[in-house]
A = this chain, B = another copy of it.
Amino acid sequence: MALSSYSTINHHHLPAAAHSRLAPRATYRITATVEEPAIKSHNRSSSAINIPATLSNLLHLNTKHHTNSGTTTASVNNNPTLTLENFDRRTPTYSPKEDISSLCTEIHRSADWSHLLSPLHPWLRREILKYGEFSQSTYDAFDSNPFSQYGGSCLYGRHRLFEKIGLLRHGYDVTKYLYAMSHVDLPIWLERSLHAEAWSRDSNWMGYVAVSGDEESCRIGCRDIAVAWRGTVMPAEWLEDIQGKLETIESNNDSDIKVEHGFHSLYTSKNETTRYNKLSASEQVMNEIKRLVRFYQEKGEKVSITITGHSLGGALALLNAYEAASALPSVPVSVISFGAPRVGNEAFGDRLKELGVKVLRMVIKQDVVPKMPGILFNEGIKMVEKVTGTLEWVYTHVGVELGLNVRTSPYLKNCIDFAGFHNLEIYLHLVDGYMNSKSGFRCEAKRDVALINKASGMLREEIGIPPCWHQTANSGLMCNSYGRWVMPNRVPEDIPSPYRDGQMNYIVSAISVAVQEAAQAWLLQDLDAIHLQVVSPDDILMLERVTGNDDHEE
């Protein structure tokens, strides 16, 4: 199959009768004669919306508009009238996956993705959505409840994350969780637990490293190491405070490669006295990537690294890609980012190109975050204006941009909503519907539109999904056997490094043995006869072997 062709599209245009389930039903008055008068028209108040009719009109109009503009591709007009059925309950939310191993080189190594973008190749779309869902999972699985003992951590242990979040179908395994310091020189966007026994006062869960399983590796043609970085749901808090202060990325030289101070600080901060950030996020992720690359390369496998993130997470992805490509020149490194701000200066961008890092940036036209640094927020996010200086010229975007537009989707409200324009689920929805830079929304887009409203109110009301519906039953409280509402303990497998009294001695002595083994097998740099800091990746590896629970703690 040629790269630029679409896969076959099946249109299921249902006749009007198929809507009967949605049409008004007659109610009945109880009479002695058998009589079922239709409900009087004035009882259907004008505030009630006839979903099928309204949406049909809406979509019809929308499609007509695109037809008139003369730029729609043939695949759209086969079925000009979308109906509620097209996205309703009776279709799966994704297509069967093709074997794309033949494209591995092209997708991962070719100089430019541009020729796959207009029209967007369906195979590339599916890959973008896969990584986008990895990014989204860092929000969905984040415990943002300050009343939880584990506020700021991941809700689930790494072995259960994809099962719990519904991403098993991508065929990846999480191998490592990543943490970053919350005391860095970035504004207060990091969550902190108010609980007296909080799991950590210093760190936040920031994402994970995952690796493709055998089946998925076979399908995509290489062993893919995916890194997903958590960003921020609501940008205003931290965007207002981005200082636009550049600093050198290499600590030990006076390179002219510079990146934004706040992002760099978050990526590199660590503190010996903390529990989860004895290593910085940078060290954690690089240790794990190197371990995995070594492991699979020793088995003779082809390896790739794909780093993804939304918003701030997209900025971290770029810093991570810079470091990975520098350290592992033999491995192709890609970045799939969504609504990410600018990160560094032109020298940074040039160096990324030299390193062969491929960057695909999804950017919604109406989203202000990708314009940062370079604009200022006034009065919260009510006003946005350009900095009169040269900030936007100093900071440079890198890679290829896939430009999205909220106005192309017939499912989205025609509103001004800065948080909504930046919402990752809106990005994924628009990627799902993207055809090319000039056309409207794909008819055959299958992703569940209800997800749009997971944490926004951008979905049109006619579709009947409540805004910001993603919430826990009773905010996580449960009624215990005494009839009291309490915040239940997590199951052991979801507790970040539980304190196991009975196992403590065993673990400590096991570590002693493990460290000695490790010292022989590899060169340990911080070994001291009296006091050994566990800072090397090899120690972590050994710890994992001993305790089976390295997920949360360094």
Task: Name the B residues within 8 Å of A36 (CB-CB).
Answer: 504
Whether B32 pairs with A512 at a CB distance below 8 angstroms is yes
* Interface of A (DSSP majority class): loop
A residues 366-389 touching B (CB-CB < 8 Å): none
Task: Name the B residues within 8 Å of A274 (CB-CB).
Answer: 43
**Closest B residue to A45 using CB positions:** B201
Whether A27 pairs with B275 at a CB distance below 8 angstroms is yes
**Closest B residue to A183 using CB positions:** B45
The stretch from A58-66, A111-119, A434-442, A528-536 touching chain B is A528-536
Residue of B24, B88, B94, B532 near A197 (CB, 8 A) is: B24
Whether A470 pairs with B474 at a CB distance below 8 angstroms is yes
A residues 462-490 touching B (CB-CB < 8 Å): 464-466, 468-477, 479-480, 482-487
Task: Name the B residues within 8 Å of A505 (CB-CB).
Answer: 34
**Closest B residue to A543 using CB positions:** B30
Task: Name the B residues within 8 Å of A49 (CB-CB).
Answer: 194, 196
Task: Name the B residues within 8 Å of A40 (CB-CB).
Answer: 273
Count of chain A residues near B, Cβ 8 A? 85
How far is B534's CA from A532's CA once the two chains are assembled, in angstroms? 86
Tell me whether A198 is interfacial, beta carbon within 8 Å.
Answer: yes
**Shortest CB–CB separation between residue A231 and chain B, in angstroms?**
22
Tell me whether A48 is interfacial, beta carbon within 8 Å.
Answer: yes
Count of this chain's copies in the oligomeric assembly: 2
Whether A534 pairs with B30 at a CB distance below 8 angstroms is yes
Task: Name the B residues within 8 Å of A186 (CB-CB).
Answer: none
Task: Name the B residues within 8 Å of A146 (CB-CB).
Answer: 466
Whether A482 pairs with B89 at a CB distance below 8 angstroms is yes
Residue of B25, B166, B464 near A487 (CB, 8 A) is: B464
How far is B319's CA from A398's CA once the two chains are assembled, in angstroms? 71
How far is B195's CA from A461's CA once the two chains are assembled, in angstroms? 10
Residue of B273, B464, B485 near A43 (CB, 8 A) is: B273
Q: A48-B194, A465-B477 are in contact. Are A32 and B532 (CB under 8 A)?
A: yes
A residues 509-554 touching B (CB-CB < 8 Å): 511-512, 515, 528-534, 543
Residue of B202, B273, B472, B504 near A473 (CB, 8 A) is: B472
Q: A25-B499, A89-B484 are in contact. Are A202 and B32 (CB under 8 A)?
A: no
**Shortest CB–CB separation between residue A336 and chain B, in angstroms?**
22
Task: Name the B residues within 8 Å of A486 (CB-CB).
Answer: 89, 450
Tell me whether A28 is interfacial, beta carbon within 8 Å.
Answer: yes
**Closest B residue to A169 using CB positions:** B483
How far is B22's CA from A461's CA once the two chains are assembled, in angstroms? 46
Task: Name the B residues within 8 Å of A273 (CB-CB).
Answer: 40, 42-43
Tell me whether A255 is interfacial, beta carbon within 8 Å.
Answer: no
Whether A477 pairs with B469 at a CB distance below 8 angstroms is yes
Tell me whether A508 is interfacial, beta carbon within 8 Å.
Answer: yes
Tell me whether A414 is interfacial, beta carbon within 8 Å.
Answer: no
Tell me whether A294 is interfacial, beta carbon within 8 Å.
Answer: no
Residue of B22, B487, B504 near A28 (CB, 8 A) is: B504
Residue of B24, B48, B473, B543 near A471 (CB, 8 A) is: B473
Whether A474 pairs with B469 at a CB distance below 8 angstroms is yes
Task: Name the B residues within 8 Å of A42 (CB-CB).
Answer: 273
Tell me whether A297 is interfacial, beta carbon within 8 Å.
Answer: no
Whether A482 pairs with B93 at a CB distance below 8 angstroms is yes
Task: Name the B residues within 8 Å of A110 (CB-CB).
Answer: none
How far is B471's CA from A48's CA once the two chains are assembled, in angstroms? 25
Whether B31 pairs with A531 at a CB distance below 8 angstroms is yes
Residue of A88, A89, A468, A543 with most chain B CB atoms under a 10 A cut-off:
A89
Tell me whether A51 is interfacial, beta carbon within 8 Å.
Answer: yes
Whether A471 pairs with B466 at a CB distance below 8 angstroms is no
Whether A484 pairs with B532 at a CB distance below 8 angstroms is no
Tell me whether A299 is interfacial, beta carbon within 8 Å.
Answer: no
How far is B92's CA from A92's CA once the two chains are assembled, in angstroms? 47
**Shortest CB–CB separation between residue A527 and chain B, in angstroms?**
9
Tell me whether A145 is interfacial, beta carbon within 8 Å.
Answer: yes
**Closest B residue to A554 using CB positions:** B30
How far is B474's CA from A470's CA once the two chains are assembled, in angstroms? 5
Whether A25 pairs with B197 at a CB distance below 8 angstroms is yes
Tell me whether A33 is interfacial, beta carbon within 8 Å.
Answer: yes
Whether B201 pairs with A91 at a CB distance below 8 angstroms is no
**Closest B residue to A273 using CB positions:** B40
Residue of B32, B47, B93, B195 near A530 (CB, 8 A) is: B32
Tell me whether A44 is interfacial, beta carbon within 8 Å.
Answer: yes
Instruction: List residues of chain A with CB under 8 Å of any chain B CB.
Output: 22, 24-25, 27-34, 36, 40, 42-45, 47-52, 88-94, 145-147, 166, 192, 194-198, 201-202, 273-275, 448, 450-451, 461, 464-466, 468-477, 479-480, 482-487, 499, 504-505, 508, 511-512, 515, 528-534, 543
Please name 19 pairs of A and B residues whose Cβ atoms are closer than 8 Å in the assembled complex, sorted by A: A28-B499, A30-B534, A31-B531, A31-B532, A31-B533, A32-B512, A43-B201, A43-B273, A43-B274, A44-B201, A51-B196, A90-B482, A92-B482, A166-B483, A448-B483, A466-B475, A468-B475, A469-B476, A471-B472
Additional A-B contacts beyond A25-B197, A89-B482, A471-B472 (7; CB < 8 A): A28-B504, A42-B273, A48-B198, A52-B196, A90-B482, A147-B464, A194-B461
State the 3 A-B residue pairs at the shortest beta-carbon distance, nearest first.
A469-B475, A473-B473, A450-B485
